[in-house]
């Protein structure tokens, strides 16, 4: 069921100390209640880093990255990742070499709908659900500024919120122009270093 969503704000939260420490983003939507993005979850499995969205009436979501690169990152990256909303797998693809932000964006497929997620800048991103014969589509805009995320929705949304907000707990740097350039140089130097063995 899709609902019109009043704009709301997520703010950073933190609780506990040491191994029990939890952190992420938290806020309340008038329509969907309290929403929490925990990023990252406590690591219990080697080479896995994960973020989770839960709360209120939004479908729970999780984003998990696997591989040896996860030992040196704080948040899940776009590489070797699995995205789930509820129990359903979300198919994710991207064009690493796109010239524009929209071309570098993520293409998502979930529940028969197609989505595009792209970076507006380093702190902000947008998720758009394509229109079809039954639905005019929707856009979720997340604008980051000074320790808060302002969320606005154009159209009627539900799972769209889960898909957009889980990315508050993901390293989205590769979706920006500067991040894509840094990722490219990193891959080149990594391939060169591996070829020297």
Please report the pLDDT score of residue 120 as a whole number.
94
Buried b / exposed e over 92-116, threshold 16 CB at 10 Å, is bebeeeeeebeebbbebebeebebb
pLDDT of residue 92: 96
Evaluate whether 169 touches 37 at the Cβ level (below 8 Å).
yes
pLDDT at 189: 57
| Residue 72, helix vs strand vs coil | helix
pLDDT (0 to 100) of residue 100: 86
Q: Are 153 and 164 in contact (CB under 8 A)?
A: no
pLDDT of residue 70: 79
Given this model, what pLDDT does residue 1 score?
52
Answer yes or no: are the C-beta atoms of 30 and 53 closer than 8 Å: no
DSSP 195: H
Q: pLDDT 10s per residue in the chain (197 long)?
A: 567 889 999 999 999 887 778 999 999 999 999 999 999 988 888 889 999 999 889 999 999 999 887 788 889 999 889 999 999 999 999 988 888 888 889 999 998 899 999 999 999 999 999 988 888 899 999 999 989 999 999 988 888 999 999 999 999 988 987 665 565 545 555 545 556 65
Query: CB-based contacts of 171: which residues, under 8 Å, 6+ apart?
Result: 73, 74, 75, 76, 77, 78
Give the model's pLDDT for residue 195: 60
| Main-chain phi, psi angles of 120, to 5 degrees | -85, -40
């Amino acid at each position: 069921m899709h609902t019109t969503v009043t704009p709301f704000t997520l703010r950073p939260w933190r609780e506990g100390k040491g191994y029990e420490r939890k952190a992420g983003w938290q806020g309340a939507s008038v329509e969907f209640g309290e929403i929490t993005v925990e990023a990252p979850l406590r690591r219990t499995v080697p080479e896995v880093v994960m973020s989770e969205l839960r709360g209120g009436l939004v479908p729970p979501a999780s984003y998990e990255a696997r591989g040896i690169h996860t030992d040196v990152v704080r948040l899940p990256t776009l590489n070797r990742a699995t995205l789930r909303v509820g129990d359903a797998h979300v198919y994710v693809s991207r064009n690493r070499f796109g010239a524009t932000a929209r071309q570098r964006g993520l293409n998502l497929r979930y529940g028969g709908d197609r989505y595009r997620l792209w970076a507006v800048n380093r702190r902000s991103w947008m998720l758009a659900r394509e229109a079809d014969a039954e639905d005019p589509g929707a856009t979720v805009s997340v604008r980051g500024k000074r320790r808060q995320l302002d969320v606005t929705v154009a159209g009627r949304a539900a799972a769209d919120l889960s898909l957009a907000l889980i990315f508050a707990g993901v390293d989205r740097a590769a979706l920006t122009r500067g991040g894509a350039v840094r990722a490219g140089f990193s891959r080149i130097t990594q391939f060169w270093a591996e070829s020297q063995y």
